[in-house]
Amino acid sequence: MGGNLDLRPFLDESKKIVVSNEEKKAEAEFYLNGVEYVRVEGENFVVSVPSTLFRDQLQKYLLSKLENSLKLLTGQDFKIIVEVSTSFQAPPSANIGETIETRTQQNPIHPIQINLNKDRSATGLNPAMTFENFIVGEENLLAYNTAVAISKNPGNDYNPLFLYGSVGLGKTHLMHAIGNAILQNNPGINIRCIPSETFVSEFVSHVLNNSAKTNAMKKFKEQYRKLDVLLLDDIYDLQGKEESQEELFHTFNELYDHKKQIVFTCDRPPRELKKFNERLISRFVRGSIRDLKVPSWETRCAIIKKKIELLHLNLSDEIIKHVATQINSNVRDLESALTNIRSYADLINEDITMEVVQKAILPITNSTGYGSISIDTIQRVIASYFNITSKELKDKRKTKNIALARQVAMYIAREMTEKSTTDIGLEFGGRDHTTVMHALNKIENLIKTDPKMDSVIQNLINLCREQHQFSS
């Protein structure tokens, strides 16, 4: 075999074998989807990938498995050679701070050009939310790469995309970036990017105005069903709105059947939606589900560096690090911190010192409530209250007392931090997020039915807060 033979089908089959054996299927699928057949030269099986990131991830986790499957299928001892295609460069994940610096030196940031022509404003897209000014870190890498892939080939591999995560983490930004990129590549395309609330209010007003003469409902349905791309933000706003859900269900089917791209954003994974049409949820989980997590300290530094360039703010490294340490909730808070610093700077007209920065960000650090309390602190407080060790909260033992303490600690972690149930599960000995959800439900019920429980939890929250203030 070899020579000019096209061994593409073998590559495709090998990918399937690898994915079927992977625990992290979505991730494996994602990276393997980027692998394209190039040629075979002797024993070398040459493939290309879109970026060095793909290459590195493949080499780390998947390449030897792919080689083995290929051997299995072809009976030949191929060595896979990975080339990075130059036509597309996604930002690599390693050394994020450094990469951002080198990138910005090469491509100085130009003020965003807002070119609001009529067509664009009808789409609902915010032209300032693009891939170019979205900072990529470990916490949003997979979501980002999926979004980029969608923008290059809408309606195909990742349909629908369900993006979730807590507030201020870039869900809306990424969704608009998908729309903007698709529009740029396909200027005539019919895109609509709107908050779910708009969908509901349009639906209601068309129902109210419907009559044989106006045919308002028909127009409403047509308007959505003839779209090429539908981007619906904050889908949880449809909770409890049965008729709007029903309408969306039909719109979804129509678009999906015609391979039109659909993207939803939400504050939680699909299965955690309450008062939601089961059939609609089953459609959400049919495509790709990606989450955005709170950015790490390194990513926060990179975000600050990028944003201060846009704001023409000059901050020392020490100050950048300080802000990244103090504001650890989300990107929106980081942005408010920086705009506050900007206004202070304008006011005093002097160099921006650490004192100035501390004053400027105080309102934000105060308003984020429990501040940066760690799950570790919570675990220590709860463990000592229940007279067990933190380690026992994380390991597998299940005596009644330990199980209750664990559930209480998970509940309080959810109350006091921005962490998702997935993250909380990880911090409790790698438990699944469904276990965390079960704990949350159970404690919620106990609080409702047992007044003693309510006050115990409240006291524990106060203890955690005290411990946090004491130790920071």
Q: Which residues bind Mg ion (CB under 5 A)?
A: 171-172
When the beta carbons of 15 and 293 are compared against ligand ADP, the nearer one is 293
When the beta carbons of 228 and 335 are compared against ligand ADP, the nearer one is 335
DSSP 8-state code for residue 381: H
In the complex, minimum distance from the CB of residue 212 to ligand ADP, in angstroms, rounded to a whole number: 41
- Select from ligand ADP, Mg ion, none the partner in contact with residue 169, using the beta carbon and a kind-dependent cut-off of 5 to 8 Å: ligand ADP
What is the greatest pairwise CA distance in the chain? 77
In the complex, minimum distance from the CB of residue 23 to ligand ADP, in angstroms, rounded to a whole number: 27
Q: Would you count residue 303 as binding ligand ADP (CB under 6 A)?
A: yes
Which residues partner with 163 through β-bridges? 265, 290
Answer for which of 168, 179, 270, 287 binds ligand ADP (CB under 6 A) is 168
When the beta carbons of 82 and 163 are compared against ligand ADP, the nearer one is 163
When the beta carbons of 305 and 406 are compared against ligand ADP, the nearer one is 305
Torsion sign, CA atoms 429, 430, 435, 441: positive
In the complex, minimum distance from the CB of residue 332 to Mg ion, in angstroms, rounded to a whole number: 9
Which residues partner with 158 through β-bridges? none
When the beta carbons of 167 and 362 are compared against Mg ion, the nearer one is 167
Which residues partner with 229 through β-bridges? 191, 261
Report how far apart, in Å, the C-alpha atoms of 398 and of each of 379, 385, 403, 410 are.
16, 17, 5, 15
- Residue whose beta carbon is closest to ligand ADP: 170
Structure tokens at 9: 């089908």
Determine which helix (DSSP H) or strand (DSSP E) holds 213, and give its type and residue range: none
- Select from Mg ion, ligand ADP, none the partner in contact with residue 331, using the beta carbon and a kind-dependent cut-off of 5 to 8 Å: ligand ADP
- Select from ligand ADP, Mg ion, none the partner in contact with residue 168, using the beta carbon and a kind-dependent cut-off of 5 to 8 Å: ligand ADP
The number of angstroms, rounded, from the C-alpha of 360 to the middle of its chain's C-alpha atoms is: 29
Torsion sign, CA atoms 201, 203, 204, 205: positive
Q: How far apart are the first and last CA of the chain?
A: 65
In the complex, minimum distance from the CB of residue 288 to ligand ADP, in angstroms, rounded to a whole number: 17
Cα 288 to Cα 270: distance, rounded to the nearest angstrom: 11
**Which 3 state secondary structure label does DSSP give 247?**
helix
Q: Which class for 191: exposed (0-12), middle (13-18), buried (19 or more C-beta within 10 A)?
A: buried
Contact 7, 36 (CB under 8 A): no
In the complex, minimum distance from the CB of residue 231 to ligand ADP, in angstroms, rounded to a whole number: 12
Cα 441 to Cα 134: distance, rounded to the nearest angstrom: 35
In the complex, minimum distance from the CB of residue 464 to ligand ADP, in angstroms, rounded to a whole number: 26
Answer for which of 34, 127, 170, 287 binds ligand ADP (CB under 6 A) is 170
When the beta carbons of 78 and 162 are compared against Mg ion, the nearer one is 162
Residues 362-391 that bind ligand ADP (CB under 6 A): none
∠ CA(189), CA(195), CA(198), 5° rounding? 95
When the beta carbons of 134 and 199 are compared against ligand ADP, the nearer one is 134
Cα 40 to Cα 38: distance, rounded to the nearest angstrom: 7
Describe the strand order of the beta sheet including 79-84 as a list of residue ranges.
Answer: 36-41, 44-49, 79-84
- Select from Mg ion, ligand ADP, none the partner in contact with residue 332, using the beta carbon and a kind-dependent cut-off of 5 to 8 Å: ligand ADP
When the beta carbons of 85 and 133 are compared against ligand ADP, the nearer one is 133
In the complex, minimum distance from the CB of residue 143 to ligand ADP, in angstroms, rounded to a whole number: 10
When the beta carbons of 140 and 196 are compared against ligand ADP, the nearer one is 140
In the complex, minimum distance from the CB of residue 144 to ligand ADP, in angstroms, rounded to a whole number: 8
Residues 76-135 that bind ligand ADP (CB under 6 A): 129, 133-135
In the complex, minimum distance from the CB of residue 163 to ligand ADP, in angstroms, rounded to a whole number: 8
In the complex, minimum distance from the CB of residue 128 to ligand ADP, in angstroms, rounded to a whole number: 7
Residue 344 CB coordination number (10 Å): 16
Residues 312-341 that bind ligand ADP (CB under 6 A): 331-332, 335
- Select from Mg ion, ligand ADP, none the partner in contact with residue 303, using the beta carbon and a kind-dependent cut-off of 5 to 8 Å: ligand ADP
Structure tokens at 418: 């921005």
The pair phi, psi for residue 217, each rounded to 5°, is -65, -40
When the beta carbons of 91 and 170 are compared against ligand ADP, the nearer one is 170
Cα 339 to Cα 363: distance, rounded to the nearest angstrom: 12
Which residue's entry shows tokens 């969908």?
199
In the complex, the residues that contact ligand ADP under the rule CB under 6 A are 129, 133-135, 140, 165, 167-173, 303, 331-332, 335
